[in-house]
Every structure is written in structure tokens, then in C-alpha cells.
Structure 1
Amino acid sequence: MQEEKILEAAENLGFTNYKIIDTQAIEYDGSFRGFCEMNYCGNYEKNYSCPPACGTFEELKEKADKFKKALVLQTITMVHDINDDSETRLIKKHHNQLTRALISELEEEIQEYLPAMAGPCQLCTPCAIREGKECVFPNKKASCLSAFCIQVNKLAEYCGFPYYCDGKVAFFSLLFFDRK
């Protein structure tokens, strides 16, 4: 029954695709951490949910491995220019807001969970780490799929979700639940 309620909530919030999978199906590649270190998004060492503050790849994987199930969430949105960071960041922010809304709706139902978002945590702007302060929401911060080193293309394939979408952008997030 719990899974039905979770899927229904994802549908009602407007996710394009959603599926519950066993966490053992998720493929990781620790070398992806190098993309974080390249600091393309500008949050390396500047956000508690990003490396190195979020922990090593092994530490994040260990946290994820404590759960049996994961809800894979995807939104697919029309985009004028896939290379326009300002446009795609707004779409990504909307995707993450939907994920947060889902978490809020299901918090009592799932109780223990671990989110992995599309991009860094944006609960506080700027992140408290930039001012040398403690995280304001340590139990709600969410690292991105890149920090977890999750192979999203393989995850999409496993779920039967599109990964490349002409004229559109696809964002993913995960909600690990059902603690082992």
C-alpha cells in the first residue's frame, strides 16, 4: 500500500515519469566525483550538500545502501536552448521543488529517507558554509546525483525512461526509502 501512495503522489505532483526500484539496480561510478571537482556548477566547497563537505563517494553510497527501495523521479520539460544555463537552472530548480513537495507530502508515510537531487541543495541561498556557519537544515539537505556518482543514463535505461530528449531537458532525482 505504501508504494501505491508514493506513486500516486508523484503522479499528482506532475512528474513525467516515476518508478520504484530496488536500490541494488542502481549503478555507481566513483570516477564521476571528478566532475564535481572540476566545479562546473560552482558549488564545490561552497555547499554542504556538495563535495567535499557532503562526504566521499563511498560515504554517500554507504548511506544509500541502507535503503531497500528508491523512487526514481523524472521531469521532461521543453527548453528553448539546452545550452542556456539560466533557462535550464530554472527548470532544474522547479524539478527539485517538486521533489521537495513530494517529500513533504510523504514524510510521515516513509519516515526515514535519503534524497538525491538534480543539482546542489538550494534550501538556503547562500548556503551557510559560505559564511562559515553550520548547516541550517542538516536533516533536509540533499546531495546531487553527481555527488552520489550515480550513472543516471543507466538508471534511465533500467527504468525505461528517456535520457536524451530533443528540444527538451530531462532531470532526475531519487528518494531512497524502506530502510534495511
Structure 2
Amino acid sequence: MRYDAEELKKLALREGFTAAGELNLKAVVFMPEVRDMCRADKCSAYGRNWRCPPACGSIEEATERAKKYSFGMLVQTVGKMEDDFDFETIEETSKKHAASFISMMRILKGKYDDILAMGAGTCARCKQCTYPDAPCRFPEDSYSSMEAYGLWVSRVCELSSLPYNYGKQTIAFTSCYLLK
């Protein structure tokens, strides 16, 4: 199937993203070194969330799954901070990005047979994840992050000709969708 990158970019912008662009599939390289950073557990989700390592699967499984997709789209939400410690803007931008991400994921799932959506940061669909005691409550609305899969996000952006850094006192959240 052929995809219209410009139409998907317009959709992304309508859904509230600041920037969007076609994902260079050659940049989709799942790296154990990136996955290993999850073990540091700075977000307190490693081993506590269905969509984070180790529950989201191995690097090898991610690589195999991604092989079946022929097109990708990167999406970003950029926030302008008042200073380097403007945590309010960081949190607002993160929430805006997550809402836009889920909204577009739902649209794409309704339009295409199979997509792989990778968000920014851990899935926060539920206040408390059921892992490992019960199945995911919302498997259709949950997602793993690009990092959880092992993608080096700044490198993916660079190879896809989309900025990763928008300058001083900005914060950017990046996610992607892979389509068959």
C-alpha cells in the first residue's frame, strides 16, 4: 500500500502535533544499548508496566515485528519553556503530546489494518498499571515508547530530517507510527 506522507502530516498537525515528517525506515534500528538505559529505571516503570521492558518484548522481537511495516511517520510536540526549570511547561507539553498521540493512533487504527505506534515515554493510560498481576486493561490504547523498543530517538530524527532539538528552553516529545 502507498501512503501519502503529506496527508498524514496534515492529519498529525490537525491532531495537535507541532511537527511531523516521514520516518526513514533505515533509521529504525533497535539497539540493546538504548534498551539497557531502561534498566536504570529513572521513570520508575521498568518491570512495572506492560509496555516497558521486560514485558514489551525483546530487541529481537521488536526487530522482527517492525520488519513487516513499509512506511513510518514521526510526530512531535514542542513546548517553549520560560527557563530551564519550567517543569509546568514540560508536564503540559507531555500531556498534550500523549493526548494527540492516542487520538492519532485511534484514527490510524480505524483507517489501516495494522499499525505499530511507539510513544514518548512510558504508557500512562492507567494511573496504576496491572503488570504483572493482571492483563492490560486497555490493550488497544496502550503503547510502548520508542526507547523501550530500543530506538535512539535523536538519531531517528536526524536520519529522518526532522529536528530533535528546537533550541534553548524548548522541550520536544517525539513518537512514531509504522504502517504496513
The TM-score range, normalised by the shorter chain, is 0.7 to 0.9
Given the alignment, which residue of 154, 169, 172 partners 1:170?
172
Counterpart of 1:157? 158
Counterpart of 1:137? 138
Structure 1 residue 65 displacement after superposition: 1.9
Counterpart of 2:12? 10
Residues 25-40 of structure 1 mapped to structure 2, 5 A cutoff:
25-40=27-42
Structure 1 residue 89 displacement after superposition: 3.7
Structure 1 residue 2 displacement after superposition: 4.5
CA displacement, residues 93-135 of structure 1 (integer Å, 9 cap, x when unaligned): 32121011112223222231011000111111111116x1111
**Which one has the bigger helix percentage?**
1
Given the alignment, which residue of 78, 100, 103 partners 2:102?
100
Structure 1 residue 29 displacement after superposition: 2.1
Q: Is the 8 A contact 1:82 1:169 kept in 2?
A: no
Q: Is the 8 A contact 1:26 1:150 kept in 2?
A: yes
Runs of 4+ aligned structure 1 residues displaced above 4 Å come to 81-87
Counterpart of 1:55? 57
CA displacement, residues 62-110 of structure 1 (integer Å, 9 cap, x when unaligned): 2122211111111111123545666524422321210111122232222
| Higher mean displacement: 105-114 or 41-50 | 105-114
In 2, distance between residues paired with 1:5 and 1:84?
Answer: 34
C-alpha distance 51-8 of structure 1, shift in aligned 2 (>3 A): same
Uncovered stretches (5+) of structure 1, i.e. residues with no partner: none
Amino acid aligned to 2:158: E
TM-score, normalised with respect to structure 2: 0.87
Uncovered stretches (5+) of structure 2, i.e. residues with no partner: none
Counterpart of 1:126? 128
CA displacement, residues 129-168 of structure 1 (integer Å, 9 cap, x when unaligned): 16x1111122432111111111211122123222223111
Provide the secondary structure at the position in 2 that maps to 1:137: coil
State, as a whole percentage, how many aligned pairs show the same letter. 27
In 1, distance between residues paired with 2:65 and 2:86?
Answer: 34
TM-score, normalised with respect to structure 1: 0.87
Amino acid aligned to 2:135: E
| Higher mean displacement: 121-130 or 22-31 | 22-31
Given the alignment, which residue of 19, 22, 25 partners 2:21?
19
RMSD of aligned residue pairs (Cα, Å): 2.1
In 2, distance between residues paired with 1:85 and 1:42?
Answer: 18
